[in-house]
C-alpha cells in the first residue's frame, strides 16, 4: 500500500476505471465545475466523495470501512428529446466499466451499487442532462501501516 492510504487509492482507481468509459471527454473529482454549471467538455463524469465510516475495529490493527461515492454523468444530447436515451446509453457504459473493473482494485473488498438519481436537465443548456449512480465500497484500513509510515 502507498503512503496515500487505501481510501485515496480507491478514488484514484475509480478515476482510472472511468477513464476507460467509451466516449468520455472528462473525468474529474472537481465538483466546482459541476456546481458552476459551466461544463464545456461532454460527456463528463464527476466522481463525488460521499464520505466513509468505520464499521468495525475488532482487533485494533484493522479498520473495516465503508466508502460511499457517486458518479455523476453529464452529457449534451443531440436534441432535448434524444438526451434521455443517450444518457441511458452512457450510464450503461459507466456501470459496465465499474462492474468489470472495480474488484481489480487491490484495496476493494466488496462493491455494491446502492442507487441511481433521477434524470435532470440543466437550466443553462437545454440539451444537457445529469444523472448519478451511487455506490458503496467496503475496504480494510491497516492501522499498523499508518503507524509504520
The structural domains of the chain, ordered by start, are: 5-147 (3.30.2000.30)
| Euclidean distance between CA atoms 68 and 66, whole angstroms | 6
| Euclidean distance between CA atoms 146 and 4, whole angstroms | 10
Q: Is 4 exposed, middle or buried (0-12, 13-18, 19+ CB in 10 A)?
A: exposed
pLDDT above 90 as % of the chain? 70
Contacts of 50 (CB under 8 A, 6+ apart): 68, 69, 70, 134
Tell me: the pLDDT tens digits for 29-56? 999 988 888 899 999 999 999 999 988 8
Residue with cell 499508518: 146
Residue 2 above 60 pLDDT? Answer: no
Tell me: the pLDDT tens digits for 106-130? 889 999 999 999 999 998 888 999 9
Q: Give the burial string for 15-53 (b: 16+ CB within 10 Å, else e).
A: eebbeebeebebbeeeeebbeeeebeebbbbbbeeeebe
- Res. 62 pLDDT band, cuts 50 70 90: confident
Amino acid at each position: 500500500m502507498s503512503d496515500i492510504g487505501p481510501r485515496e487509492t480507491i478514488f484514484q482507481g475509480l478515476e482510472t476505471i472511468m477513464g476507460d468509459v467509451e466516449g468520455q471527454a472528462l473525468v474529474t473529482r472537481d465538483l466546482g465545475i459541476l456546481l458552476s454549471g459551466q461544463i464545456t467538455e461532454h460527456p463528463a463524469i464527476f466522481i463525488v466523495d460521499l464520505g466513509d465510516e468505520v464499521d468495525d475495529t475488532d482487533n485494533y490493527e484493522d479498520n473495516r470501512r465503508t466508502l460511499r461515492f457517486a458518479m455523476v454523468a453529464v452529457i449534451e444530447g443531440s436534441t432535448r428529446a434524444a438526451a434521455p436515451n443517450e444518457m441511458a446509453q452512457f450510464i450503461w457504459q459507466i456501470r459496465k466499466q465499474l462492474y468489470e473493473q472495480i474488484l481489480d482494485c487491490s484495496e476493494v473488498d466488496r462493491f455494491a451499487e446502492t442507487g441511481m438519481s433521477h434524470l435532470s436537465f440543466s437550466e443553462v443548456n437545454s440539451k444537457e442532462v445529469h444523472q448519478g449512480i451511487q455506490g458503496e465500497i467496503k475496504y480494510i484500513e491497516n492501522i499498523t501501516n499508518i503507524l509504520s509510515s
